Amino acid sequence: MNTDNPNNDLSSDDSANDSSANNSLSENSAPGHLMPSAEDLQKYFQTAAFTVSAAKLTQCPANVGLEVAFAGRSNAGKSSAINRLTGQKKLARISKTPGRTQLINFFGLRDEQRLVDLPGYGYAKVALAKKLEWQKHLEQYLEKRSSLTGLVLVMDVRHPLQPFDSIMLDWVKQYETHCHILLTKADKLKRGPAMQALFEVQKAVKDQEHTSVQLFSATNGTGLEEARETLFSWLHPQE
């Protein structure tokens, strides 16, 4: 059954398209973790609703409950990933002008759980001073948000592990946050090259604790259920 939001014109059955379910390091679902059905996961993420945009830490919602933040270079596909995960085509505005918005966008799920769209980085037209200011705000966010339970690091599968991504991976190590890498736009590559990219990134992060990686596509739903399961387990640590 397809219970996707009517706004979503990607009308294919999510689970049928999830062709990469076994492709990731499978360290995300703790033993005994009760995982809802694909349909219930979809319903859970569909409850996401925009809460607030923050230009700095003091404007963020109360630091209670748990949240998962999406980081990545401008244009990597963060907003598209959030839209696909929540089954809401227009939730996180997909910008055709990369780097324009420098705001942290919060989307509330049920029970003080949130998804957070962090500002993009790496767009050439953003001045250096702006980039440094952004970096300061982002680091403050990562350091001070005790409700931050995990970071989704979104990379274009065709250009993974850029300098920005390495900075993020260092911070993940420093702040001991979970990290799940989405190698997105997997629909742009044939299976062979996509798997090759997956193996390379897996190899690069194999010594990094609490870090996993998978293929993803906001366009055709590759890896959708796997990503939802990872985020759900982070947001429900006791279940």
Which stretches of the chain bind Mg ion, using CB under 5 A? Answer: 78-79
Q: Which is nearer to ligand GDP, 96 or 129 (CB)?
A: 96
Q: Is there binding between residue 106 and ligand GDP (CB under 6 A)?
A: no
Q: How far apart are CA 34 and CA 18, in angstroms?
A: 20
Q: How far apart are CA 216 and CA 193, in angstroms?
A: 14
Three-class DSSP category at 51: strand
Q: Is there binding between residue 86 and ligand GDP (CB under 6 A)?
A: no
| Contact residues for 170 (Cβ-Cβ < 8 A; gap 6+) | none
Q: Is there binding between residue 185 and ligand GDP (CB under 6 A)?
A: yes
Q: Which is nearer to ligand GDP, 33 or 158 (CB)?
A: 158
Query: Which one of 67, 78, 85, 183 is in contact with ligand GDP (CB under 6 A)?
Result: 78
Q: CB of 75 within 8 A of CB of 153?
A: no
Q: Is there binding between residue 79 and ligand GDP (CB under 6 A)?
A: yes
Helix ranges (H only) for 49-161 are 78-86, 128-144
CB of 10 to ligand GDP, least distance (A): 10
Q: Is there binding between residue 125 and ligand GDP (CB under 6 A)?
A: no
CB of 237 to ligand GDP, least distance (A): 27
Q: Is there binding between residue 77 and ligand GDP (CB under 6 A)?
A: yes
CB of 78 to Mg ion, least distance (A): 5
CB of 21 to ligand GDP, least distance (A): 17
Q: How far apart are CA 25 and CA 14, in angstroms?
A: 21
Six token digits for residue 214: 């998978």
Helix ranges (H only) for 9-155 are 38-46, 78-86, 128-144
Binding site for ligand GDP (CB under 6 A): 72, 74-80, 94-95, 98, 120, 184-185, 187-188, 217-219
